[in-house]
Chains A and B, each alone.
Chain A
Amino acid sequence: MEGWGRYPRHESQAIDCWLPEALAGTVTSRTGLIGRGNGRSYGDAAIGEYSTLMCRGLSRMRRFDPSSATLTVEAGVMLSDILRSFVPRGYFPPVVPGTKFVTVGGMIASDVHGKNHHRDGGFGDHVIEFKLVVASGEVLTCSRTHNPELFFATVGGMGMTGIVEEATFRLRPIESGWIAQKTIVAENLGEALKALQQTEDATYSVAWIDTLSQGASLGRSLIFVGEHATLDQLAGMPRADRFAAKDAGVVSLPFDLPQWLLNKTSVAAFNELYFRAGARKAAKTSLVHWDKYFFPLDGILEWNRLYGRRGFLQHQCVVPAEDALPVLSGILDRFARSGKGSFLAVLKKLGGGNGLLSFPSPGYTLALDLPVTQEVFGLLDEIDELVVRAGGRLYLAKDARQSRQTFEAGYTRLAAFKELRKVTGADRHFNSRLAKRLGI
């Protein structure tokens, strides 16, 4: 079994689950179990130590209340299904990550953040309540007032408190399925951070960084700022097109690309083209379909095969705002000098996270992915040093390799989390390979 990054790979027995009623029996009779949604966490977070509960069968929506825009769904419901059903009806999920092929259970376990985190917080902040199957097999309703300790341990808790059976959260009303996007060009990292700071009032903002530029243009970026387009911005658009559906994911990578294809020259060429294309659009507002704005990579199904059979690592850290410029410069510089170019380098501003193990904390997050090679591990260890010294941390949903020291330095509420695991008996039943590796 492997995660989206295809590294690492572990043996784990897959257990199918088709009915919510069956969860309790499975949980009480197992140890070393972890829930798995659509397998989009990158590393070993959704690989059970011994067994892995495949939750995709828990895919039924339970009810939608239009008066409050609250939706209750089973944990295996995919974000793509929610979008397909509700965008045409004028609603959008409160928070979406960079792919729509994730389940609601996974979004809670990872307390996923989106391009609106600086303003709206993580997915967990919009969850009203959920039902959690705990180690004893009991199904507990958790909210901010009901079992709050379990609620805040489960949000961002990477499945280590139990199995989420169903969850209730609020959708946001939208006037159209389009995003009004503005592109800002930043010539270096300092400008990029400033632009993200200045666009804090915008609903969505994210920066794409050219990781290969060095020196004075280290961190040159395109910042994409977006708002849900209002009806008057769509003047003249036929009614039927306002929520235009789009069947994404038509192209699929049918094979693994050879590793030599992804080298410094090809990435540099791609980055240059991408940067220039973006810069041409700067200053004017354009309408972008929601699917393309939020999920550009979903258009290529199985894009993880870009990186060849050996897989890839994603490194996503967050560092506090005060030192962000020197620390992130140091990290980017280190990457640029190593020549390990990355197609995808993303920078964005985060607010705080509320779960005990939630990744987001106030500051800036930088995400890059790198093909798995022998040298890359040493490079990432060095970069982790910079992150830890700045008081930052790494995103567990994407982690495949950080050390226990790095993890413990970053997650300061770990002791409370472990204590809760012990008290609820979760430590005896729920363990992923990630939990083992990091000693949780």
Chain B
Amino acid sequence: MKGIGKTLLLIGATSDIGRATALIYAEAGWDVLLAGRNRSAVQREADDISARTGASVLIHELDILATSRFEDFVGVVSPLPDTAVCVVGELGEQSRAERELEHAAMIMRTNFEGPALLLGLLAERFAARGSGTIVGISSVAGDRGRASNYVYGAAKAGLTAFLSGLRNRLSSSGVRVLTVKPGFVRTRMTNAMKLPPLLTAEPREVAKRIFAVAEGGRGGDVVYVRPIWRPLMTVVRSIPEPIFKRLRL
């Protein structure tokens, strides 16, 4: 396979969306650096991508909750990637998060603190270089807090706002910042749920969309993987609070 001399850093490589995204980039001839918490699981994904595409894939052990290690990691990562995609996320259990501080904190830190700090650091290096693309995977759950998942939703809302601000600040620096909201995706995380087919994407579909927007420049800065989500969430956001609080969504 011909290399094209570009590198993707994929953070959260063992998730279904992460795996599919890394594969799409490798198929397009990119070099891939996979980062994830569990070394042997990340290695399994690296082997898979390299067997499928012939690409050489490097791995890096990285825990999204171990924020004190981020500076070291970002300082030494070499080559500095052209694109960094962070797909880290943890749905957690809403009802448990209502009772256990620790669980709630884990959800908030995994979905907001970790990704925001890491992407923020990477953005600094990208800005110093004057180029690069940052892709953060947020969620439609962050568009409005709902009873069924507001701890997760609030963390994703935080990430959405962080990415928006980062984009705003770096708009003239040569660094692009994208926010991707996949909507429902058929993954391990949603395996037990019954999902509406019209609103549910496959991991590969999400990955293709990420690649098309990040590398092809198609679509805006905030991307709903299935277009139908945009009007849908506009409606959800515009329901007045007195009515919304009585709904069970």
Contacts and interface: CB of A to CB of B under 8 A. Distances in A.
A18 B188 contact: yes
Interface in B49-74: 50-54
Interface string A61-72: 111101000011
B30 to A, nearest CB: 16
A60 interface: yes
Nearest to B48: A60
A264 B92 CA distance: 56
A402 B1 CA distance: 49
A8 B181 CA distance: 41
B48 A85 contact: no
B240 to A, nearest CB: 38
Nearest to A65: B51
Given A81-B52, A85-B53, A63 B188 contact: no
Contacts of B44: 60
Nearest to A63: B51
B45 interface: yes
Contacts of B188: 18, 57
B191 A61 contact: no
A63 B50 CA distance: 7
Nearest to A61: B51
B98 interface: no
A60 B47 contact: yes
A239 interface: no
Interface size class of A (residues with CB under 8 A): 10 to 19
A382 interface: no
Nearest to B19: A60
A279 B29 CA distance: 44
Contact of A64 (B41, B45, B51, B191): B51
Interface residues of B, number: 13
A72 B44 CA distance: 12
A90 to B, nearest CB: 11
Contacts, number: 30
Nearest to A16: B191
A89 B47 CA distance: 17
Nearest to B46: A60
Contacts of A66: 54
Most buried by B among A57, A64, A73: A64
A105 B71 CA distance: 44
B54 A61 contact: no
Contacts of B1: 89
Contacts of A61: 47-48, 51-52
Contacts of B51: 61-64, 71-73, 85
Q: Considering residues A61, A63, A72, which has the most beta carbons from chain B within 10 angstroms of its beta carbon?
A: A61
Contact of B52 (A19, A72, A85): A85
Highest count of chain B CB atoms <10 Å: which of A66, A73, A81, A85 = A85
A57 B187 CA distance: 10
Nearest to A60: B48
B184 to A, nearest CB: 18
Contacts of B47: 60-63
A437 B47 CA distance: 41
Contact of B48 (A18, A62, A89): A62
Contacts of B53: 85
Nearest to B44: A60
Nearest to B188: A18
Interface in B14-48: 41, 44-45, 47-48
Interface in A44-89: 57, 60-64, 66, 71-73, 81, 85, 89
Nearest to B1: A89
Contacts of A60: 44-45, 47-48
A19 B53 CA distance: 22
Contacts of A19: 41
Nearest to A62: B47
Interface in B179-223: 188, 191
B54 A89 contact: yes
Nearest to B49: A61
Contacts of B48: 60-62
B154 to A, nearest CB: 28
27 contacts: A16-B191, A18-B188, A19-B41, A60-B44, A60-B45, A60-B47, A60-B48, A61-B47, A61-B48, A61-B51, A61-B52, A62-B48, A62-B51, A63-B47, A63-B50, A63-B51, A64-B51, A64-B54, A66-B54, A71-B51, A72-B51, A73-B51, A81-B52, A85-B51, A85-B52, A85-B53, A89-B1
Interface of A: 16, 18-19, 57, 60-64, 66, 71-73, 81, 85, 89
Given A62-B47, A63-B47, 15 more contacts: A16-B191, A18-B188, A19-B41, A60-B44, A60-B48, A61-B48, A61-B52, A62-B48, A62-B51, A64-B51, A72-B51, A81-B52, A85-B51, A89-B1, A89-B54
